[in-house]
Amino acid sequence: MKYEFPKVDLHFHLDGSIVPEVGWKIAQEEGVDLDIPTFEDYMKLTTVPPLCTDVFEYLAKFGPIVKLMQTKEHLTEITYTTIKRAAEQNLFYLEMRFAPQLHKEKGLSQRDAVEAVLEGVRKAAKDFPSIKVGVILCCMIELYDNHEENMETVRLTEEYLGKGVVAIDLAGGEDSVPMDHYADLFVEYHKKGLPMTIHAGDNGIPQNVATVIDWGATRVGHGKHCWYDKDVLQKVIDTGTTLEVCLTSNYQCRTENSYEEHPAKKLLDAGVKVTLNTDNMSISQIDLDYEYDRAIEQVGFTYNDLIQMNINSIEASFMPEEEKPAYIEKLKTYFR
């Protein structure tokens, strides 16, 4: 169904949410080295089946898409059109994340990639004033040594905070490399009181959630595996940490067996600040209305839970504190 209240998405990957027609157009214009003679082939290459073998089959879908995001012009166009689609879906606040280090195949620097995405945000702000957008820069978990690239991402986050960038993240194949390997990225950053949200407790162990809270993360990407460790769960509750839950991608990645078994509703009822998000709108072929249908029909949430979780999103967002009350008051008018 259509949900008419204004919506918030805090966990939204730019590359995973590229408008398919835009990706297909770029592939044809640039002759990108992908076996995609038709739009149907493009969709098969860049979207997941109802169930993946595991999270790594899901993550593999990013590779072909990232190949389309290697010039300033394409990054700006993709950012602009992705925000346009979000505005058309009645989102009024969006935090969009991407990893600058993944866009250097054709000579761009990480700074170039950040500038290109922020240009897309600025253009969209003029044409779609109904939606406000913040950008999160992702460090990456990789099997090779990318420490210096990650440190550059940290430095760029600090430099561009308040200029369109709102926080830092760590994304990738959780537990493919021990989480502690990345601790030093965030030590000095946290000492400065700077904002972060970190992927943890999705396909990885519950303790990862406690680890990133200790690093200074006020939000955790996914994080729902904290339900399976009572001490970690209590830490999430006691610290007021917000979880960025993504129902469909969790199910598709097999990090939860079904919507019905997903612990998101139990987490909310236990006092956790749960939010609902799309993760990768295009790879998963969903939008927030679809997620809300699953939340009500299969997970057990109520309509008022959806409103409360959007309020949770605004409260946990990285927008300036003085801007939050107006958003929250508007959402409160939709309680039934």
Q: Which CATH number is 49's domain given?
A: 3.20.20.140
Residue 218 resides in a domain: yes
Rounded to two decimals, what is the model's pTM?
0.97
Work out how many domains the chain is built from and give that number.
Answer: 1
Residue with tokens 């949430």, as numbered in its chain = 301
Half-sphere exposure of 149 (CA within 13 A, CB side): 17
Residue 2 resides in a domain: no
156 residue type, one letter = L
pLDDT along the chain (336 residues), means of 10: 94 98 92 82 92 87 95 98 97 98 97 98 98 98 94 98 98 91 94 96 96 97 98 98 97 93 98 98 98 98 98 98 98 97
Give the range of the structural domain holding residue 138, as residue numbers without chain letter.
7-332
50 residue type, one letter = P
Residue 39 resides in a domain: yes
Residue 273 resides in a domain: yes
Residue 153 resides in a domain: yes
Residue 1 resides in a domain: no
**pLDDT score of 61:** 92
182-197 per-residue burial string, b: 16 or more CB within 10 A, e: under 16: beebbeebbeeebbbb
23 residue type, one letter = G
44-67 per-residue burial string, b: 16 or more CB within 10 A, e: under 16: ebbebeeebeebeebbebbebbbb
Label each residue of the chain as H, E or C.
Answer: CCCCCCEEEEEEECHHHCCHHHHHHHHHHHCCCCCCCCHHHHHHHHCCCCCCCCHHHHHCCHHHHHCCCCCHHHHHHHHHHHHHHHHHCCEEEEEEEECHHHCCCCCCCHHHHHHHHHHHHHHHHHHCCCCEEEEEEEEEECCCCCHHHHHHHHHHHHHHECCCEEEEEEEECCCCCCHHHHCHHHHHHHHCCCCEEEEECCCCCCHHHHHHHHHCCCEEEECHHHHHCHHHHHHHHHHCCEEEECHHHHHHCCCCCCCCCCCHHHHHHHCCEEEECCECCCCCCCCHHHHHHHHHHHHCCCHHHHHHHHHHHHHHCCCCHHHHHHHHHHHHCCCC
**pLDDT score of 111:** 98
**What is the C-alpha separation between 86 and 289, in angstroms, rounded?**
12
